[in-house]
């Protein structure tokens, strides 16, 4: 799938089925907190040598999480 770099430096991978313009405009008039889920999300890589890099806006989907992540171990 093609991507494009936006003004913010994020690569953008287009959503296959974005919301209709009228639906998006209605949501943006009064989005409310937690009432609407975006059709895109951001991924950014972190490397000790490079720091934060590879920022991209991608279609909404599952998040990969290492089973040994501290958030899982500390939530017991």
Q: In tens digits, what is the pLDDT along the chain, a chain of 76 residues?
A: 445 544 467 787 777 777 888 988 988 898 888 888 888 888 899 999 999 888 998 888 898 888 888 887 765 5
CB-based burial label for 11 (10 Å; 0-12, 13-18, 19+) = middle
pTM, two decimals, is 0.58
The helix (H) or strand (E) run that includes residue 56 is strand 51-59
Report the topology of domain 4-73: D-amino Acid Aminotransferase; Chain A, domain 1 (3.30.470)
Whether the CB-CB separation of 73 and 65 falls below 8 Å is answered with no
DSSP secondary structure letter of residue 48: T
Q: Domain limits of the chain?
A: 4-73
């Amino acid at each position: 799938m093609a991507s494009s770099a936006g003004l913010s430096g994020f690569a953008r991978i287009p959503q296959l089925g974005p919301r209709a313009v009228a639906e998006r405009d209605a949501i943006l008039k009064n989005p409310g907190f937690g009432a609407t889920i975006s059709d895109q999300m951001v991924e950014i890589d972190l490397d000790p040598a490079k720091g934060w890099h590879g920022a991209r806006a991608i279609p909404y989907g599952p998040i990969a999480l290492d089973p040994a992540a501290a958030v899982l171990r500390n939530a017991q």
